[in-house]
Structure 1
Amino acid sequence: MKKVFISLALVILLTMLTITIPSISVATDGIITNGAQFKDTSGNAIHAHGGGMINYEGYYYWYGEYRDSSNYFLGVRCYRTKDLVNWEYRGEVLSPNSASELAKCNVERPKVMYNESTKEFVMWMHWENGVHYGEARAAVAYCKTPDGKYTYQGSFRPYANSGVIDHDLPGYMSRDCSVFVDTDGKGYFISSSNENMDLHLYELTYDYKNIASLKAKLYVGKQREAPCLIKRNGYYYLITSGCTGWSPNQAKYAYSKNLANGWSELYNLGDSTTYKSQPTFIMPVQGSKATTYLYMGDRWAGAWGGKVNDSQYIWLPLEFKTDTSLELPYYSTLKINASEGIVTEPISDTTKYKIVNKNSGKVLDARDGARASQLVQWTDNGSLSQKWYLVDVGNGYKKIVSASSGYVLDVQDNSSADGGAIIQWYSNGGNNQQWQFIDAGDGYYKVKNRSSTKILDVYKWSTVDGGTIQQWSDVSGSNQHWKFVPVSDTQTPTPTPVKTPSPTPTSHTVDKGDVDGDGTVNSIDFGHMRWYLLGIINQFPTGDPNVGYWAADIDGNGIVDSLDFGRLRLVLLGIR
């Protein structure tokens, strides 16, 4: 009986340990795992929460918070690496022994920048007295080496001696913060002020150790914090979070060509919780082939009642679709090639597939590479938009990734209804982007969505180019059966029979609304459109059905629907 009790006690103890020990990620082959704590080269958890990073003489240096079980300051820890994966612990560059003011306090979001003129490394951070959260001060320390012992200069509120009063104390409040060095060598400090209602951007003195001027007040009254400031192609970008305590929220970005003014409105970045993270820094990873901007986020343990030292990390590539359009896709794992400057999702199976519909013989095509565009079927022509990767996400599900756009198959708006549109969207980890392949015989599969449990389906059994892809309940139709055929980049496309007795010349002009192709837009076209939408006909009465379909797609979004029907009505009434 004694042995039984001991065994039971061991089981209980091991169960408790399993619950309370945070997930720790060991990097292998340049791959890191998100939503975990990273380990250093000695196998210990990396504590660099709320941190920042610099690149100096071939090394990346990562600085961040290290706290005790009461969340008090234990140090600013420093790690270094050449590959952004294998991190060597370099020690605590700032500790409670560095100054009496640091003996029992809170230090948050330490950020370091290198001053090329003075050859010094300067750290800015947020300081509180450890008793309450009302001091809201900036603090500064500096050192001659990136990983040496920093000299603590002290804490203060910006403009404390100017007569400014912010919530009953002299000077502007300064909480969540970051730093930025512009291409002209000027240094800047940005922090949340006015009880986090405003962001203040300060230009620093030549040595980066003091405030020179208040450059701009940004997004006044918008309650933004966790600021990250970068520059690319002549544009400045500001990434911030909302103010919801430890709980994650929607990150937003803005851009401008001038630090002081001209900032855009705020745009959403990532999903509604920024993948359960809060931004802390954006690090340019400049290599021989590319420069990738690495989003560094904290998944704060406070959100589930844990301590800061239990918090986890989220690193993702920030993608610039244009100079004014940013996206933040989510990947559970990340492959980093720092020497080349490439940060991507690791794809273990690099085979490309064409996805062939059994009913039509046509292939799945992301013809319009734009985000949110609905997918269609098309005659196999060997184009990259017709090639797809299959990425395993576990539990028998896969993501289907476009080889041309990098977007994934997605049920729009997480719809659970029959007819929900299948679009391409950036990877966000959602169940509406995960698919199960169910054997349908003869080498074909039904492709079932994890979220809706609906099946990938060609709209109304269409056999024409441009037939739209949707989800539908499983009716075992051949328009719901798909074959995954491995292809190479040099493979000759498989011809698909198409009813085109008189191919449309490339110079032919399609008149919007002329769905029967007789050269006029009239009530007969209106009737054909109505029959098509009611399912009475499945193609338009033109020599080439594609011409009729294009004519019916009046708003040009790739889908013929009731909106196009309404627009045709307005055309016939002379309103448009």
Structure 2
Amino acid sequence: MRLLAVAAVTALVVALLPAPAQAAPVTVTNGVQFTDTSGAGVHAHGGGVIRVGAYWYWFGENRNADDTFKAVSVYRSADLRTWEFRNNVLTSSSAAELGSAKIERPKVIYNPATGRYVMWMHKENGTDYGEARAAVASSATVDGVYTYHGSFRPLNHMSRDITLWDDGGTAYMISAADENRDLQIYRLTADYLQVATLVGNFWDNATREAPAMFKRNGVYFLLTSGTSGWNPNQAKYATATSIGGPWSGWTNVGDSTTFGSQPAYVLPVGNSFLYMGDRWAGAWSGPVNDSRYVWLPIAFPSSTSMSLSWYPTVTIDAAAGAVTGNPATYYRLTNQNSGKVLDVVSASMADNAEVKQYAWNGGGNQRWEFQDAGSGYFRIVAQHSGKCLDVANASAADGANVIQWACGNGTNQQWSLSGGQLRARHSGKCLDVVSSNTADGADVQQYTCNTGANQQWSRTA
């Protein structure tokens, strides 16, 4: 009776929460750091989403500058774009063992029998990855303070990247084990706070991590990444009609870097499915809290197959349950003097990567999107990285270096195109190939505009 009373009170509290107006369609830009309603960065990295009432609640990693655990933060939204910070539901002071820990990939599900929200996560000691433990916390409210219940190795197995799956009242935890060589499915106890049994080690020596599970029309999909540190790699998925298998083999999805991201979660939105990935800042030696987000609609060529395509922006109609990718037009920018094109060197994903000229090879590091910045100016965005053509340090000097950098609002990332010249808004100076050099690898700079062919660029879709 007590459990029923708790569930009834929880349902009443949720019902009394102020409901937002029906969400209008919104557009989300990919490859950027989201901001919340206060303008601060959204730190929900490696996270997951749960819907309660009219809101989605997004939990994720929020780290200190040295990448140790600061908090599991939660944000809520009615439209999946406008995120309100709600709480740091678990912090480094929540328990003694969290004081210098690493906490990764928190996921939350609701237990209707106990009326509690249960969080599972990957826990390490903050100095290395030798612990490989799962940790559990729970709360009576979705965005309240979570009680930490400790960490352990499930059935004495190592446990790193994890996800949760609620299969109609029976809950499962999927985690990478045995130094990430195996990927295992566990059934949880009735209170969701412990592991009851190992359902199966279906992917012995598969070396997969970052699991994200979802179900569509009776088919389970398990989406994963390979293991390559912070660097993105090829996502693969397997399918089954029973969570206990048999499971299919692995099939590639997306491109060879999953569009510069790693799976974090797959969110059902009505009859649509939204891929939620992290573009980890560690790939360019940045702190985790500088990581970006990549959200894409999932398509289904058949009942047992899925596909991902790149879109620079995604429109989400939460009310209608629709997720739609918005294709971009990309251009090559060819220098009139050399016939070579604007190129991010070595297809680097990093801030401060050099921009030079090279012969056209069709790579994403030679394809550029022109995003309207207003007043006749554009942000010029590299397809492969989602980063902007940038005059380093917003310098106004002749000879200032031109690089790629995470897109922001600076006028040193805004360019006009007129008469074949690309002119930086902050300085009024032109994009210029140094010394009219015609060689591969010649540097690109800003310089006072003149009539030289080395400042003339053609734009070809």
Shift of 1:396: 8.2
State yes or no: 1:55 paired with 2:51.
yes
Q: Figure out how many residues of one structure are paired with residues of the other and give that number.
A: 324
Q: Distance in 1 between matches of 2:128 and 2:284?
A: 22
State yes or no: 1:320 paired with 2:265.
no
Q: Contact conserved, 2:25 with 2:317, CA < 8 A, in 1?
A: no
Q: Contact conserved, 2:25 with 2:79, CA < 8 A, in 1?
A: no
Shift of 1:345: 2.3
Name which of 174, 178, 187 aligns with 1:194.
178
* Structure 1 SS opposite 2:276: strand
The alignment's TM-score, normalised by the length of structure 1, stands at: 0.54
State yes or no: 1:126 paired with 2:106.
no
Cα gap change, 1:134 to 1:342, in 2 (>3 Å): same
Q: Contact conserved, 2:331 with 2:367, CA < 8 A, in 1?
A: no
Q: Distance in 2 between matches of 1:157 and 1:29?
A: 43
Shift of 1:431: 7.0
The structure 1 segments of at least 4 consecutive aligned residues displaced by more than 3 Å after TM superposition are 391-397, 428-434
- What is the aligned partner in structure 1 of residue 113 from structure 2? 117
- What is the aligned partner in structure 2 of residue 157 from structure 1? 153
- What is the aligned partner in structure 1 of residue 159 from structure 2? 174
* Structure 1 SS opposite 2:97: helix
Q: Distance in 2 between matches of 1:433 and 1:233?
A: 38
- What is the aligned partner in structure 1 of residue 66 from structure 2? 70
Q: Contact conserved, 1:330 with 1:429, CA < 8 A, in 2?
A: no
Q: Distance in 1 between matches of 2:269 and 2:188?
A: 25
Shift of 1:131: 2.5
- What is the aligned partner in structure 1 of residue 246 from structure 2? 262
Structure 1, gaps ≥5 residues long: 1-27, 160-170, 348-390, 398-415, 418-427, 435-449, 451-576
Q: Larger strand proportion, structure 1 or 2?
A: 2
Q: Distance in 2 between matches of 1:345 and 1:176?
A: 28
The CA RMSD measured in Å over matched residues stands at 2.5
Cα gap change, 1:270 to 1:429, in 2 (>3 Å): farther
Q: Distance in 2 between matches of 1:84 and 1:157?
A: 34
Instruction: Name the structure, 1 or 2, with higher relative contact order (CA <8 Å, separation 6+).
Output: 2
Name which of 303, 307, 312 aligns with 2:287.
307
- What is the aligned partner in structure 1 of residue 267 from structure 2? 283
Q: Contact conserved, 1:31 with 1:346, CA < 8 A, in 2?
A: no
Corresponding letter in the other structure for 2:37: T
* Structure 2 SS opposite 1:37: coil
Corresponding letter in the other structure for 2:194: N
1:170-569, aligned counterparts within 5 Å?
A: 171-182=156-167, 184-286=168-270, 291-346=271-326, 392-393=329-330
Q: Distance in 1 between matches of 2:301 and 2:368?
A: 21
Q: Distance in 2 between matches of 1:267 and 1:431?
A: 28
Q: Contact conserved, 1:113 with 1:122, CA < 8 A, in 2?
A: yes
Q: Distance in 2 between matches of 1:51 and 1:394?
A: 34
Q: Distance in 1 between matches of 2:245 and 2:315?
A: 37
Q: Contact conserved, 1:331 with 1:429, CA < 8 A, in 2?
A: no
Q: Distance in 1 between matches of 2:70 and 2:283?
A: 21
Deviations along 1:422-475, one digit per CA (max 9) or x if unpaired, are xxxxxx9797999xxxxxxxxxxxxxxx9xxxxxxxxxxxxxxxxxxxxxxxxx
Q: Distance in 2 between matches of 1:429 and 1:75?
A: 36
Name which of 84, 89, 98 aligns with 1:102.
98
* Structure 2 SS opposite 1:303: helix
Larger displacement relative to structure 2 (257-266 or 146-155): 257-266
Q: Contact conserved, 1:54 with 1:62, CA < 8 A, in 2?
A: yes
1:130-145, aligned counterparts within 5 Å?
A: 130-145=126-141
Corresponding letter in the other structure for 1:88: E
Greater radius of gyration (CA): 1
Q: Contact conserved, 1:49 with 1:65, CA < 8 A, in 2?
A: yes
The alignment's TM-score, normalised by the length of structure 2, stands at: 0.67
Q: Distance in 1 between matches of 2:169 and 2:368?
A: 44
Corresponding letter in the other structure for 2:119: M
Q: Distance in 2 between matches of 1:430 and 1:284?
A: 32
Of all paired residues, the percent bearing the same amino acid is 50
Q: Distance in 2 between matches of 1:270 and 1:430?
A: 17
